[in-house]
Chains A and B, each alone.
Chain A
């Protein structure tokens, strides 16, 4: 069966410090990978998605970047954190769908980031 891991589970960082959140998927190959942010009391905002190694699509301009160095590894980074980067970060994966079709996404446990 497939599993998705995220770490760390919680993180408290000062403003201006760097960030690296990691997500890995087991039990599948060539997944689509996604990073979402969930701010307090709000829905989920898609930040990045990737359909393959080194292929990153950014959904919103921001202080963050993403990389996919391996097939099942997805990393969210920042060089200098802002207060507004605080939130709950969720990684997700899906099976790559045939054209014209859509597959459900499966979510990791999330990382709670607090920027002080």
Chain B
């Protein structure tokens, strides 16, 4: 069965420092991969997605992610973190189920930014 692992539950970085959030997936076919961000008490906002093609994808808010098939990973990166990036980040893999397009999410990584 498909699964998504986000090994870091909490991460703290200083403002201006670089960031990498890890995501590993388990899926039998070519995955559709997503990163979402959730601010406290809010819904989820799509940061970026990978469907095919270039394995380095650019997203909103200066985020990027790299798909590495050999490592089954889709890590999220940002060169310089801003205090407003503090939020919870979810990695997800999309499943093809006869049009249902279901997502399996990781348990999330809570990002704290120190000023």
| A residues lining the B interface (CB < 8 Å) | 32, 34, 42-44, 46, 49, 51, 57, 59, 88, 90, 92, 94, 96-97, 99-110, 112
Contact = CB atoms under 8 A, between A and B. Distances in A.
Interface in B90-108: 90, 94-96, 98-108
Interface residues of B, number: 26
Contacts of A49: 100, 102
A99 B99 CA distance: 6
Can you list the 6 inter-chain pairs with the closest CB atoms, starting with the nearest?
A107-B43, A102-B32, A102-B94, A43-B107, A107-B44, A44-B105
B108 to A, nearest CB: 6
Contact of B100 (A44, A51, A92): A51
12 contacts: A43-B105, A43-B108, A46-B103, A92-B44, A96-B101, A97-B99, A99-B99, A102-B94, A102-B95, A102-B96, A105-B46, A107-B43
A102 B105 contact: no
Contacts of B107: 42-43
Interface of B: 32, 34, 36, 41-46, 49, 51, 90, 94-96, 98-108
Nearest to B29: A100
A112 B90 contact: no
A97 B101 contact: yes
Given A43-B105, A43-B108, A102-B32, A109 B42 contact: yes
B43 A44 contact: no
A46 B78 CA distance: 29
